[in-house]
A and B are shown apart, each in its own frame.
Chain A
């Protein structure tokens, strides 16, 4: 049995107009081993953040489920920590208090001094020693996300969920914080599920990359192994042919799928075949379809759950 298992997860959202429901993604299944770093890459709207929220327990799947260590995830828990794209720090609290809130939640029985010591350790670990008394508003994006990482790691979660954690950080700082993330992940050996649309980021950080087709009605297209040896340095990777090949492959996937309907849809149609396939024009052969348009009007895709 796998450590973290995403099992046929499907999510519908209410349609923005005309009632009914829209399928965000369908039948997403994959497994994550303990200590593994898996990243999901896909275009905006493929529901990758929604899937992350489902794993976090903040949202419920419309069908299917997520199982962590043999137990189904139904609500948020201290075993899964989220690092948010917009940092989600409490703006009225200092850096120290933001981390302290998490440590106290993780260790309600600890004495105040033990909590403070632990908080200080993580604040120092992300290089924010000296900025403990500052409020998030006084920090740059990069420093805020460091607080976010410190807050998440300080609870020593089993699974770390990163929701486009570097999207709002300037490119130069991004690399530095990614390295810090890898260092902390290596030290903690926690399992990581990250969501991003930055291909380089995904390759540098991950053991495996899950590629999603475009939404709505997105599918998990494939899982790509990243066999580059660790520790990975950005400078060396640039000269690595494997890195370039992988990068090209993923980018091509994303570019190819971008304007088209869900690729999973086509693949499934090809796999199952319709009655006419291979045997001359069948009775039910559908009319030629504009590939740029979904087969079914979106508004009519309703929930079967």
Chain B
């Protein structure tokens, strides 16, 4: 077990180093000042940016920490609001087969729509780019949680609901002591998918709205032809994504239960 783990880590590190080496080798044969920057150049930029992550020199020159914080702030608001709405809606759909079947066609149509497609509509109606971005996040995190919650609630074992009925629990106590905990694993699985797709959507949304955020940062650095910054930002986006997923993975392990 322990040896297996070490072998995996070793192999993983080897792959990473090989990739970096190859990358550096390929980029160093390009003419200087043109082409894709190599890992050393990106590393130098990373050190520089991480030394002052929160500086603020006006709208077009902010530290990467501030940009990420802006994105995470939007993500937080949009995702939390969407999750609350989706869980409430999902519970209602899960408890009523009739409602579920009546609403399902609409959900099926709405689900495949890219959350960014809503952007013009949001910009036109609320006339605020930052809030529009939050609404895009809202749209992107709504469906997975809604569908998973509805499924989780609909498949709660009859026995648990019978116990709740015999104990004559009020609807609120039934919700918090039986329905939500019973469906929790499915709900958290939905939340996990949601936050992933929201994090994917935010980059694109911020490229459109401009101002702040990691998506805007990537686009801005591209306009400055600062490709080292772009590559570092891409890595940062990936790492934050892993972190978000890990937090929800933890939550899912805490709420899991075996029958």
Q: Is A82 an interface residue (CB 8 A)?
A: yes
- A92-B184 contact in complex given A76-B168, A101-B177, C-beta closer than 8 Å: yes
Is B258 within 8 A of A58, CB to CB? no
Measured CA separation A15–B81 after assembly (Å): 46
Contacts of A93 in B (CB 8 A): 181
Alpha-carbon distance between A57 and B166 when the two chains are bound, in angstroms: 8
Closest to A88 in B: B159
Q: Which residue of B lies closest to A90 (CB)?
A: B160
Tell me if A102 and B257 are in contact (CB < 8 A). no
Q: Does A78 contact B (CB under 8 A)?
A: yes
Checking A81, A90, A136, A137 against B166 with a beta-carbon cut-off of 8 angstroms, the contacting residue is A81
A193 at interface by CB-CB < 8 Å: no
Please, how many angstroms separate the alpha-carbon atoms of A93 and B257 in the complex?
9
Asked, given contacts A76-B168, A101-B167, A105-B167, whether A91 binds B162 with beta carbons under 8 Å apart, the answer is no
* Cα–Cα distance between A264 and B138 once the two chains are bound (Å): 64
Confirm or deny: B255 has a beta carbon within 8 angstroms of a beta carbon on chain A: yes
Q: Which of A57, A84, A102 contacts B167 (CB 8 A)?
A: A102
Q: How far is the CA of A93 from the CA of B164 in the complex (A)?
A: 14
Closest chain-B Cβ to A86's Cβ sits at a distance in Å of 7
A195 at the interface (CB under 8 A from B): no
Nearest CB of A to B154, in Å: 18
| Residues of B with C-beta under 8 A to A101 | 167, 177
Known: A137-B257, A137-B259. Contact between A77 and B163, CB under 8 A?
A: no
Q: Determine whether the beta carbon of A88 is less than 8 Å from that of B259.
A: no
Whether A135 is near chain B, meaning CB under 8 Å from some CB there, is: yes
A76 touches B258 (CB 8 A): no
Residues of chain A within 8 A of B160, CB atoms compared: 88, 90
Q: A76-B168, A78-B168, A101-B177 are in contact. Are A88 and B163 (CB under 8 A)?
A: yes
Greatest chain B CB density within 10 A among A92, A101, A136 is at A92
Q: Which residues of A contact B177 (CB under 8 A)?
A: 90, 101
Find A92's partner among B162, B168, B169, B255 (CB 8 Å cutoff). B255
Q: What is the minimal beta-carbon distance from B232 to any residue of chain A, in angstroms?
A: 43
- Tell me the complex Cα distance, A80–B182, Å: 24
Output the least CB separation between A45 and chain B (Å). Answer: 19
**Within 8 Å CB of B200, what residues of A?**
none
Q: A58-B162, A82-B162, A135-B257 are in contact. Are A90 and B178 (CB under 8 A)?
A: yes
B259 touches A91 (CB 8 A): yes
B165: CB under 8 A from chain A? yes
A82-B162, A135-B257 as given contacts; A90 in contact with B181, CB under 8 Å: yes
Known: A76-B166, A82-B162, A137-B258. 16 other contacts (CB 8 A): A57-B166, A58-B162, A58-B166, A76-B162, A76-B168, A78-B167, A84-B159, A88-B159, A88-B162, A88-B163, A90-B178, A92-B184, A92-B255, A102-B167, A105-B167, A105-B168
Seen from chain B, the residues whose Cβ lies within 8 Å of a Cβ on chain A are: 159-160, 162-163, 165-169, 173, 177-178, 181-182, 184, 255, 257-259
